[in-house]
């Protein structure tokens, strides 16, 4: 499934819609360059799950756990950018929380797929053209998002509900 999002609010809303499909034990790998919207999407997932606290990038602490306020699963938010090997990923002991929470791994491509054959991979591409940001990068706010489901958990799940009115 492919979508075009035109703002951070649309990216967050996609995360909220995605959260309604997620259940304890689900793994979501989010790929995209710096500033693409990976954490913004994860903030939407956190909002949709009803987790406590602000969902922020766990870049320097690698993994952050957010407890749910209701009967939804909690959120384990991982930033694998600094991880260089499967041993470093395994040292986080994520498999102990995989069954009880939704786990979102940013920058996990080529590394975190081993955590589960059942996973969603979300790629966010930031096309260049349009406005220039403070760093001098050109960004018109649009994001192309591709969602690919892997494994038996996702067979028969209608990902078209993610379209919403984005």
Flag whether 139 is in a domain.
no
Q: Quote the CA–CA distance of 163 and 138 in Å, as a whole number.
A: 26
Domain that holds residue 63: 8-123
Flag whether 17 is in a domain.
yes
Q: Quote the CA–CA distance of 31 and 38 in Å, as a whole number.
A: 7
Flag whether 160 is in a domain.
no
Flag whether 26 is in a domain.
yes
Q: What's the structural domain count of the chain?
A: 1
Flag whether 149 is in a domain.
no
Give the three-class secondary structure for 67: coil
Q: Which helix (H) or strand (E) holds 44?
A: helix 38-49
| pLDDT one digit per residue (tens) for the chain, 166 residues | 999 999 999 999 999 999 999 999 999 999 999 889 999 999 999 999 999 888 877 666 666 777 888 888 999 888 877 666 666 666 565 555 667 889 999 887 887 787 889 999 999 998 765 555 555 555 567 899 999 999 999 999 999 999 986 4
Strand ranges (E), the chain: 2-5, 27-32, 63-66, 74-79, 101-106, 119-125, 143-150
């Amino acid at each position: 499934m492919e979508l075009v999002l035109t703002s951070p609010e649309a990216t967050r809303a996609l995360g909220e819609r995605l959260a309604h499909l997620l259940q304890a034990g689900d793994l979501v790998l989010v790929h995209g360059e710096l500033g693409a919207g990976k954490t913004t999407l994860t903030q939407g997932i956190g909002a949709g799950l009803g987790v406590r606290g602000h969902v922020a990038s766990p870049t320097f602490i690698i993994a952050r756990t957010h407890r749910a306020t209701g009967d939804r699963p909690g959120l384990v938010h991982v930033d694998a950018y600094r991880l260089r090997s499967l041993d470093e990923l395994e040292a986080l002991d994520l498999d102990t929380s995989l069954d009880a929470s939704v786990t979102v791994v940013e920058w996990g491509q080529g590394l975190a797929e081993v955590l589960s054959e059942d996973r969603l991979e979300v790629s966010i591409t930031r096309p260049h053209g349009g406005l220039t940001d403070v760093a001098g990068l050109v960004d018109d706010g649009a994001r192309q998002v591709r969602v690919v489901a892997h494994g038996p958990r996702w067979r028969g799940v209608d990902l078209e509900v993610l379209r919403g009115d984005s």
